[in-house]
Chains A and B, each alone.
Chain A
Amino acid sequence: MNGLTKLLGIDPEVYNQWQLHWSPEDPAVIYGVLGVVIPIALWFFWTSLNRVGSRSRKLLLFVLRLAAFTLLLLILLKPELEFRKSQTLKNSIAVLLDNSKSLSIKTDESPRIDLIKKALATNASYLEKLGQDFNVDYYFVSDDIEKAAARTVESLYQPHRPFTNLTRVFEELAEHYPRPSLQGVFLFSDGADLTQESGEISRNLVERIKALDSPIHTLQAGSNEGFKDLAVESVSASDFGFVQQPLRISLTVFSSAMGNRNVPLVLKEGDRILVSKIVEVREDTKRYEVELEFIPQSAGKRIYSLGLPKFAGEFILTNNEKEFEINVVRDRIRILHLNGRPSWDSRYLREVLAHNPKVDLLSFFILRNIGDDVEAPTTELSLIPFPSNLLFDDYLSSFDLIVFQNFKYDPFIDKKYLGNIRKYVQNGGAFLMIGGELSFQGGGYSRTPIEEILPVIFEETPRVFVDEAFQPVLNQEFSRHPILHLEKDLKLNQEVWSSLPPLQSINLGLTPKKEAHVLAQHPKGASVPLLVAGEFGKGRTALLATDSVWSWNFRNVGGGGSGRYFQRFWNNIIDWLIAEPETRRLQLESDKEQYREGEQALIKFKLLKKNYQPAVDTKVQLTLKSLNKESGPETELKTDEQGEGVFPFLPAREGFYTARIKADLEGESLAEEIMFSVLKDTAEFEKPLINEYLLKKISELSGGSYRILNGSDDLSTYQFANPDVRLKSHSRSFSLWDNWWAYSLMVGFLVVDWFLRRKSGLS
């Protein structure tokens, strides 16, 4: 070895082993070919030497040819010499200590973890002795593994981790040990793995156990005997619910050692009881599936709590209550669309509304007027009576938006119902009037509640409606208004508006009120408004003083465009009128909906002026308050040049929080509120029972053993194999064929062979 290393110029102290490698790519073919070709070639060669008289020369020639073939064979088999350093590896034993919160649950007056601590203390000398032959590694395990020095285990071992997932534990453990150095595992746990169903073991976990390829001895901390508990174990509810639509939630109630009794389960929102149900708890049943149904009354993020009574002697009280959040939204936008007569304008708008999956459309077309002669009895007509009583009295509040399109109310709606519409808007409803001959003054709305709620005054004019081709002019002051956003980029948006086909009609005699927002107008100026938005009470109203917007759809297609911007325009109007969150001038949001305890929340806000331009350097007041607690202090903040701001907030404790922001801007008080939750990790207490089945199964599958800790456990009975495992640390290889001397030698043999053959008179 030393001579060889010197010859190759490497340090013999560095390497303690060597090995020769043959590496043909397809050895079977090469061996087969060489096994046939070389003997035949040598035989021919030997017979060709018959004319050589000298036996010694004949023998020399044959040896030379044989040497050349041997070298060729070597080159084809690509021999490599590897020098390496390898060392004997000490085998390992892993001691896994479950540090999840469920270990804090008491069994026989002391927490489960105490049984483990006691077992470690009792067997300290055994474990120390084991350390002479093995690396004994300690890990705290829960949903991951954390290595701990042996001396620190006693002081650091606490049941504080929020989740148990043994599949991940074994997966990570396998990454720590090169096979087959891990010779055994001690798992000290209660087996309360939240990812495993009761009485089952997942396929993933089985695969991880098998991949570890080491016996796992499971040591169960405590038992389920006498474990008294009543819990809301799990809640299954959709993240979303719909206003005024029944919402169903499913939950599991867990009961252990509670005897036979009936317990009330209550679902509340704040202090208001929404629904309750009696759960008949029986001694021989552990789990009860319960379904509850209730109807959310208003939109927004809602926090609901489920509660069971707390009984004396229960091991865990925190799991008797459970809170959860549901985002209650409008299921669909309910729109009442009244058309004074069928027209292209109403036809294309109806198509947009009817095809919008968010919209629940109820439309009525006035198909005949009183003076029309249909020349048929009513029974041969498809016309139905207009249900004005139902629409404008009983069900008015159920609509999110009312649209009058070229609609004259008389004789279809009693004038008194116009007052109902005013009330509806005042209370937060939305109203849109679209132009035409039968709109505004032409519809007889002068000095009616409709004129009151719309952002314009109806002037007396001899011509209330004219056909007139014109290109609408956007009011630059409102260039950022959500209704006008056909494209996000302001410049591109302006270009899109300019590229739309001209409109062909305009309603006249409409004077914008003081607070009105004239978004678009006739080229003659703001005195001839086209698109005006406004607010009345808590609601929003708008008007479009033309019946030719359909040009932006069909005519635009004819000009090589599409109906995309027509659809977007109407969707923008609807979103703004019903005050969708993104159209509000004060916007508030948190970067997440749920935070973990100790995690910082970022509260973001945005403030826009009435014209939707950013409100720069403006004061806002932010208040954060936890549910059922006193309101926190008010924090004064300022908006940046984008009208935005961020407030970092570290919640003091778990629970649900409300962030409320207020701003006084342009003589108006704006306020918004959001909710978010800070979760304490109590998942470990939702399935608090010891999972004996799982621990038994793990030991059985891995070839280990299972035992229940009792406080005086002797672990010295566990024996582990300790095979010699060598590990290569580094190596160096030398090619024995791919070098100049191998090729030179072969050529040399052939040249001498040729020379001697010539000398011997052979060709």
Chain B
Amino acid sequence: MQKLFTIFVLVLFFVTWGKNISPAVAGYSSLTLPWIKYQGGNDNPRPDALRSLLAQVTRRTSIEVNREPVALNISDPDLFRHPFIYMGGDEGFDPFPEKDLKVLRNYLSYGGFLLIDDNSAQADSAFDTSVRKMVSALFPQNPLRKIQRDHSIFRSFYLLNTVSGRSIVKPYLEGISIKGRTVLIYSSNDQGGAWSRNKLGHWNYDVIAGGHKQRQLAIRLGVNIIMYALTLDYKKDMVHLPIILERLRRYNSR
């Protein structure tokens, strides 16, 4: 009887404790990928993209993720809870108000990361024009530049020597770096389209020209971009270099 009473007290204690310290935000330090809402155009043409990518990240890496989709305005007070944001689209959009540009500039300059994805799968699309205008207003002195192949993004998890996507409009990524840290990456290749998968596990969109391998490379690039945002230039530490360089030599010679 006394034993039963002790167990009852212990159970009660843990229940009470659980009530007193209740979760506020699930997995605060886990990775959440919010997409950015904006005026004009279509800000969510690939609604399954981020959930699908996060599923791949969970499956392939040790990163803890929150898969629930989150949508944010730039002016949202919760923006700074999420150091990684995604902005997709396939149409032209209204210029960001100066207030939002200021917030975004601050966000990127002090530790945030933005991935922009042109989902139109077309060169010189209306979305592309709007993005370039927006980026130019965001960092007038620091234009988009091609990301070199020795960037950590191409070795942060997978060793990559190509830039893939659903449709390879440009065989390279563009980006903006501040004080040695890349804070913005722009892909013209509809990465979201290659990642998107429905709840039954079927791919939402066919990749153009490259088939399964192209899609796999797009997923690997997505994983690498996330890994870069979380570990920065970790893979350029001296301790990694000899092994990585040797593997790159073999990989590139294939």
What residues of chain A have their CB less than 8 Å away from a CB belonging to chain B? Answer: 340-348, 350-351, 354, 361-369, 372-376, 379-384, 387, 436-437, 461-463, 466-469, 504-506, 508, 524, 547-548, 550, 553-555, 557-559, 562-563
Question: Which residues of chain B are within 8 angstroms of A375 by Cβ–Cβ distance?
Answer: 60, 216
B46 located at the interface, meaning its Cβ lies under 8 Å from any Cβ of chain A in the complex: no
Q: Please determine whether B231 and A350 come into contact, CB atoms closer than 8 angstroms.
A: yes
A727 to B29, CA, bound (A): 88
Given contacts A374-B60, A384-B240, contact A553 B111 (CB under 8 A): yes
Q: Which residues of B are in contact with A by a Cβ distance under 8 Å? A: 14, 17-18, 20-31, 59-64, 77, 79-81, 83, 106-107, 110-112, 155-159, 216, 220, 227, 229-235, 237, 239-240, 243-244, 247, 250-251
If the complex has contacts A341-B64, A367-B62, A374-B60, are A467 and B234 also in contact, measured as CB distance less than 8 A?
no
User: B159 and A381: CB pair below 8 A?
Assistant: yes
- Let me know if A368 and B62 touch, CB within 8 A: yes
Interface contact A382-B158, CB-CB below 8 Å: yes
Question: In the assembled complex, which residues on chain A have CB atoms less than 8 Å from the CB atom of B21?
Answer: 466, 468, 506, 508, 524
Query: Which residues on B sit within 8 Å (CB–CB) of A346?
Result: 230-231
With A342-B227, A554-B110, A555-B80 known as contacts, the answer to whether A467 contacts B157 (CB < 8 A) is no
Kindly list the 9 A-B residue pairs having the minimum CB-CB distance in the complex, ordered from nearest: A558-B80, A504-B28, A342-B230, A469-B24, A341-B62, A557-B110, A467-B23, A382-B155, A554-B111
Could you say which residues of chain B place their CB within 8 Å of the CB of A351?
Answer: 111, 232
Q: B234 to chain A: which residues have CB within 8 Å? A: 350, 363, 365
Known: A547-B29, A557-B107. 9 other contacts (CB 8 A): A341-B64, A344-B230, A346-B230, A350-B234, A367-B62, A372-B62, A387-B239, A558-B79, A558-B107
User: Could you list 27 examples of A-B contacts with CB < 8 Å?
Assistant: A342-B230, A343-B29, A347-B83, A347-B231, A351-B232, A361-B237, A368-B60, A368-B62, A369-B62, A374-B61, A376-B220, A379-B159, A381-B157, A382-B156, A382-B159, A382-B247, A387-B239, A466-B23, A468-B22, A468-B23, A508-B17, A508-B21, A524-B20, A547-B29, A557-B111, A558-B79, A558-B107
Q: A384-B244, A553-B111 are in contact. Are A373 and B60 (CB under 8 A)?
A: yes
A376 CB contacts on chain B under 8 angstroms: 158, 220
Contacts of B30 in A (CB 8 A): 343
Please, which residue of chain B has its CB at the minimum distance from the CB of A361? B237
- Give the one of B26, B234, B240 with max A CB within 10 A: B234
Inter-subunit contact A372/B64 (CB<8 Å):
no
B18 CB to closest chain A CB, in angstroms? 7
Contact B62 A436 (CB under 8 A): no
Residue of A nearest to B110 (CB): A557
Whether B157 contacts A555 by the Cβ 8 Å rule is: no
Q: Are B247 and A554 in contact (CB under 8 A)?
A: no
Q: Are B230 and A343 in contact (CB under 8 A)?
A: yes
Residue numbers in B under 8 Å from A363 (CB-CB): 234, 237
Distance of A387 Cα from B220 Cα, bound (Å): 26
Q: A555 contacts which of B60, B81, B230 (Cβ < 8 Å)?
A: B81
- On chain B, the residues within 8 Å of A341 by CB distance are 62-64
Q: Which residues of B contact A466 (CB under 8 A)?
A: 21, 23
A579 to B79, CA, bound (A): 39
Shortest Cβ distance from residue A220 to the other chain B in the assembled complex, whole angstroms: 62
Looking across the interface, which residue of chain A has its beta carbon closest to that of B81?
A555
Q: Which chain B residue lies CB-closest to A560?
A: B106
Taking CB atoms, residues of chain A closer than 8 Å to B81 are 555, 558
Contact B251 A379 (CB under 8 A): yes
A562 to B80, CA, bound (A): 12
CA distance A342 to B220 in the complex (A): 17
Q: What residues on B are CB-neighbors of A381 within 8 Å?
A: 157-159, 247
Instruction: Decide: A504 near B25, CB < 8 A? Known: A367-B157, A372-B60, A463-B18.
Output: yes
Please state if B243 and A384 are interface contacts (CB–CB under 8 Å).
yes
List residues of chain B with CB within 8 A of the CB of A524.
20-21
Check A347–B159 contact: CB distance below 8 A: no
Chain A residues with CB under 8 A of B231: 342, 346-347, 350, 365, 367
Partner of B83, one of A469, A547, A554: A554
Chain A residues with Cβ below 8 Å from B27 are 467
Q: Tell me the smallest distance from the CB of A284 to a CB of chain B, in Å.
A: 51
Q: Is the CB of A342 within 8 A of B25?
A: no
Q: How far is A553 from B81 in the complex, measured between Cα atoms in Å?
A: 11
Asked if A342 contacts B80 (CB within 8 A), the reply is no
Find chain A residues with CB under 8 A from B83 CB: 344, 347, 554
What's the Cα separation between A344 and B226 when bound, in Å? 11
**B79 CB contacts on chain A under 8 angstroms:** 558
The residue of chain A having its C-beta at the shortest distance from the C-beta of B160 within the complex is: A380
B59 — which chain A residues lie within 8 A by C-beta? Answer: 372-373
In the bound complex, how far is the Cα of B24 from the Cα of A156, in angstroms? 88
Q: Is the CB of A340 within 8 A of B220?
A: no
List of A residues within 8 angstroms of B159 by Cβ? 379-382
Chain B residue, CB-CB nearest to A387 = B239
Contact check: which of B24, B157, B237 meets A383 at CB < 8 Å?
Answer: B157
B45 CB → nearest A CB, Å: 26
Complexed CA–CA distance, A382 and B244 (Å): 6
Distance A118 CA – B182 CA, assembled complex (angstroms)? 82
How many angstroms from the CA of A369 to the CA of B22 in the assembled complex?
29
Which of B17, B29, B31, B83 has its CB near the most chain A CB atoms (within 10 A)? B29
- Smallest beta-carbon distance B157→chain A, Å: 6
Which residues of chain A are near B244, meaning CB under 8 Å?
382, 384
Q: Which residues of B contact A345 (CB under 8 A)?
A: 29
Q: Which B residues are in CB contact (< 8 Å) with A555?
A: 80-81
- Cβ of A368: which chain B residues have Cβ within 8 Å of it? 60-62
Task: Give the distance to chain A from B242, nearest Cβ to Cβ, in Å.
Answer: 9
Name the residue of chain B whose CB is nearest to the CB of A341. Answer: B62
**Shortest beta-carbon distance, A387 to chain B, in Å?**
8
Cα(A387)–Cα(B237), bound, Å? 14
Q: Report the separation of the CA atoms of residues A508 and B20 in the bound assembly, to the nearest whole angstrom.
A: 13
| Contacting residue for A554 out of B62, B80, B250, CB 8 A | B80
Chain A min CB distance to B16 (Å): 12
CB distance from B183 to the nearest CB of A (A): 12
CB-CB nearest in chain B for A506: B21
Residue contact B235 to A382, C-beta cutoff 8 Å: yes
Most buried by B among A372, A373, A563: A372
Most buried by B among A342, A436, A504: A342
CB distance from B135 to the nearest CB of A (A): 21
Q: In the assembly, what is the distance between CA of A206 and CA of B83, in Å?
A: 67
Task: Please name the residue on chain A nearest to B10 by beta carbon.
Answer: A462
B12 shortest CB reach to chain A, Å:
13
- Specify which chain B residues have a CB less than 8 angstroms from the CB of A461 in the assembled complex: 14
Report chain B residues within 8 Å CB of A362.
Answer: 237, 239
- Could you tell me the distance in whole angstroms from the C-beta of A413 to the nearest C-beta in chain B? 16
CB of B201 to closest CB in A, whole Å: 15
Is A563 within 8 A of B29, CB to CB? no
Task: Say how far B32's CB is from chain A's closest CB, in angstroms.
Answer: 10
Complex CA distance for A78 and B24, rounded to whole angstroms: 93
Whether B111 and A348, one on each chain, are in contact in the complex, defined by CB atoms closer than 8 angstroms, is yes
What residues of chain A lie closer than 8 Å to B14, measured between beta carbons? Answer: 461-463
